[in-house]
Amino acid sequence: MKLTQRPLTHRPRRLRKSSALRELIAETHLSTSELIWPVFVTGGKNSQEKINSMPGVFRFSPDLLAKEIGAAMKLGIHSFALFPAIESKLKDSHGRESLNPNGLLPTTVKMLKDKFPDANIITDVALDPYSSDGHDGIVRNGEILNDETVEVLAQMAVTQARAGADLVAPSDMMDGRVGAIRRALDQEGFTQVGIMAYSAKYASAFYGPFRDALQSAPKFGDKKTYQMDFRNSREAVREAQLDIREGADIVMVKPALSYLDVIQTLKAHVKVPVAAYNVSGEYAMIKAAEAAGMLDGTKAMVESLYSIKRAGADMILTYFAVEMAKYLR
């Protein structure tokens, strides 16, 4: 024994000494099939609009979106969450455009399902892209109405199912919306359309860039009377359990990175798959730091996505989906 050699029985570093060993003991694996790509769609043709706060992310017209989705499918991404950028002249306080079967979202869904029958198309159920108030519900005297909003959301989900959506994803945080959506879908015969519920959706500053993308920022106040308080995690379990009882097939935690503990807690409490949404601000922070030469953006992306998986997410919605799929190749 050399003089400097410590009499250590345990040397955890032994298992880190080579890449082959590190691969052998890796506890967490991530595959492209677990990624969901959130995409923004805008009207018109052959149009691709930059989003200032989200470098590398665009609002695509339906024709270009189809090309992007075709390319993503070739990389092994099969799930897409669609968010429409609605012209401001079509917005009103009731978000009526959300029920228009010939509107931007339903027509895009129909076109995509025709072209890519194997793609898993997920549609967002909430009023904010359609609301002149920029809120997820109907507003009266400054109050976001719950039950009136739920009525509209249920019809919106049916409109999306009729267009061909595979999963509808209520992101509004109104009470009782999952049950109302399930009943409305079943009544119309859409028993096979699933519900991915944004169950633990926090009122978060990390949604800023998304609201730029859709020009959907609230015109007054904030979303704290319906989205959750970031100081709470037991409440997330309660929300998820209520959604599951009402018929949610998948529950979601959103955002992801500041809420890894919530992902872990939910995973321990529920039996349905748990999704996590790596949101716009989480994407923007990495892109901004990379652009400023402050860190390696690719490495930060990979580490973030693995940490979300390690926390317990079964699937991840992320604007990095295409970049990550290329990395995983």
Residues of this chain that interact with ligand PBG (CB under 6 A) are: 124, 126, 128, 136, 171-172, 207, 210-211, 223, 279-280
Give the nearer residue to ligand PBG in terms of CB position, either 214 or 244. Answer: 214
Give the nearer residue to ligand PBG in terms of CB position, either 52 or 192. Answer: 52
d(Cα 80, Cα 219) in Å, to the nearest integer? 28
Shortest Cβ 124–ligand PBG spacing (Å): 6
Q: Please indicate whether residue 67 is annotated as part of the active site.
A: no
Catalytic residue among 201, 223, 287, 309: 201
Shortest Cβ 134–ligand PBG spacing (Å): 8
Catalytic residue among 91, 110, 254, 309: 254
Phi, then psi, of 255 in degrees rounded to 5 = -60, -175
Give the nearer residue to ligand PBG in terms of CB position, either 97 or 128. Answer: 128
Give the nearer residue to ligand PBG in terms of CB position, either 28 or 215. Answer: 215
Shortest Cβ 43–ligand PBG spacing (Å): 19
Give the nearer residue to ligand PBG in terms of CB position, either 211 or 310. Answer: 211
Shortest Cβ 200–ligand PBG spacing (Å): 13
3-state DSSP of the chain:
CCCCCCCCCCCHHHHHCCHHHHHHHCCCCCCHHHEEEEEEECCCCCCEEECCCCCCCEEECHHHHHHHHHHHHHCCCCEEEEEECCCHHHCECCCHHHHCCCCHHHHHHHHHHHHCCCCEEEEEECCCCCECCCCCCEEECCEEECHHHHHHHHHHHHHHHHHCCCEEEECCCCCCHHHHHHHHHHHCCCCCCEEEEEEEEECCHHHHHHHHHHCCCCCCCCCCCCCECCCCCHHHHHHHHHHHHHCCCEEEEECCHHHHHHHHHHHHHCCCCEEEEECHHHHHHHHHHHHCCCCCHHHHHHHHHHHHHHHCCCEEEECCHHHHHHHHC
Shortest Cβ 254–ligand PBG spacing (Å): 7
Give the nearer residue to ligand PBG in terms of CB position, either 270 or 317. Answer: 317
Shortest Cβ 262–ligand PBG spacing (Å): 16
Q: Please indicate whether residue 201 is annotated as part of the active site.
A: yes
Q: With left for phi above 0 and alpha for psi between -120 and 50, is residue 13 left, alpha or beta?
A: alpha
Catalytic residue set: 201, 254
